[in-house]
Structure 1
Amino acid sequence: MILRGLEVEQVRRFGDAVRLTGLGPGINLLGAPNEFGKSTLLAALRAVFLLPHGSRAGPVAALQPYGGGAPRIAVDFTLDGCDWRLEKRFLHRAFARMEGGGARLDGDAAEARLHALLGVEGRRGAEAVGLLNALWVTQGHSLVQPDLSDPARATIRSCLEADLEAMTGGDAAGRVLSRVSADLAVLLDGRGNPRGRFRAAIEAGQAAAAELARLDGRRQALEDDLGAMADLRRRLAHEDDADRREKERADLAEAGRVRDRLRDYDARDRAARAERDHAVARLGVARQDVGRRAAWERDLAAGTARASALESAFGEAREAHAVAGAAHAARLEAVRAADEARQAARRALD
């Protein structure tokens, strides 16, 4: 197979359509900084060849961009001298299309043709299995055992048989294979299960492993008991030390004296705290008295100003009263004079 081009759209970090060109026979090296999308392109290449277009499994969901979408992948390749173009879209409005050799296939027919070309077996909703899985190694999975289909195993077996026959010759290879098959028949039955002495050896090995595990458990328990015994002996020797006991008595007496001093300090501390709390309370009362006195002084100043204003108003009222009294006396005199004139006029009239 020779890859000639790859196109992805809505695949992880690639939202818009991106096309990789310039591929051809030989080694193709793709170089770019970290997080530029190299692993994404390789994952897309693996998905378009091995994942069915109708799958919704985890590997397909992992191809979606962060904001969601329908991953679309197209690849151009040459196989056995024929040019092919394979295109798949996953999840929303999924489809598969394969063009080459003057024909166009869609859907399951395209998947079947692809599996036949690659020599893999399709699995519903999962990756196809075959020899391609063993040869197509992704980063970090070089030591993982691949899933192989029966045709893939037959292909590997035929390659090994051809190499063995080329190295040893046809008859020698047959004799070697016959000898290997005969020796293998002594160890395994027709279904590949152990038999005879081989089976007995396996069972004996399993029993020995179980016994070894049991003995190892007993050994660990004995080691724990020995460790606990040694610890108890150290504690016993520590408890029986006369000098240590005398020192502990002295330490205990000193601790009692320190405790008494601490109690005295605690009592003095409580007394000081109580005195402080009393002083704080008295300070609060004094501050309240200062506040009330300030209010009283403000009220006294306002009353004094009010009394002064009233005194001035009272003086003005007295002056106005005197003026009004004089005017009233003048009017009374005028009335008296008018009354005398009226009486004189009356007498004159009479």
Structure 2
Amino acid sequence: MKLRAIRLENVRRFTAPAAVAGIGDGLNVLSEPNEHGKSTLFDALQALFQRPHGSKDKEVRALRPHAGGAPEVTVEIETAEGRFTLSKRWLSKPYARVERAGRLVAQADAAEDWIGRLMGDAAGGPAGLLWVRQGMTGLDPDTPKEQKAALAARRDLLSSVTGEVEAMTGGRRMDAALARCAEERAVYCTATGRPRTGGPWKAAQERVEQLKAEEAELDATARALHAALDERRRLRRELADLEEPEAAAARAQRLAEAQAAHQAAERHAERVEGERRTLEAARHHEADLAARLERLRAALAERDAATDAAEAARGARATAQDRVAEADAAAEA
């Protein structure tokens, strides 16, 4: 038997129809994050093959969504006889159907018997291990007949596994296995459990260190490249802003205004420089005039002094003349 597709409706979180199709031959891996319904899918699959459609036990009730509803599971399988569709519904209006190419093959208890014959005694042999999942203890048989069959199957399975273990752990097979293990172990490590020089374990450790160094180097390169890319994006944004028509026109307008202001400032500076030179010439002229004024004042002072001296000399002469006249008059008398 090969599973080809499974569809769920009103099964826990899958209140709307959900399907996994396109299941091929060989190993198929269902990969999804936690809490995305993987366990629900397998519980529904196991219920279809192991729970009668009339069952209302706790495992079947556990398939019902919190909002209520009747769980429905449909699978498509391929056997040596062809391709079949198996459908079951529990709790409300329960049914079980087996169809082939759209034609009803069996329903109700007949469908349950058909599924039972399909499963056969596989659950009691090693194939029964296919239903074993990590930490799963639910969906155990609850009827005496099912419990008895399951107990016998487990005993047969335990006997088979026990026989294999005893055959492996006893006699020369065990010695050969231990010797082979020791031989394989010696390739990887020393008797003390340390990595053997030149061995695969030591080479792997060295390779790990080498890869760590390469990772650090690549990480630094990646950071530098990220920084360069960020800078490149920034420069591209700036370039785009510079090449934007409206921004270019605004810059041209500001440049023209700045150039006009610069020219006006240069003209004003030239006028200021001309006025400064005029002021400087006036200051020099004023200094010359002040010097001339001082010279004139000195000349006037000298003239006034000479005039005063001349007046004094004339006064002294007049006095002398008067005395001479008086002397002459006295002599004549």
What is the TM-score with the length of structure 1 in the denominator? 0.39
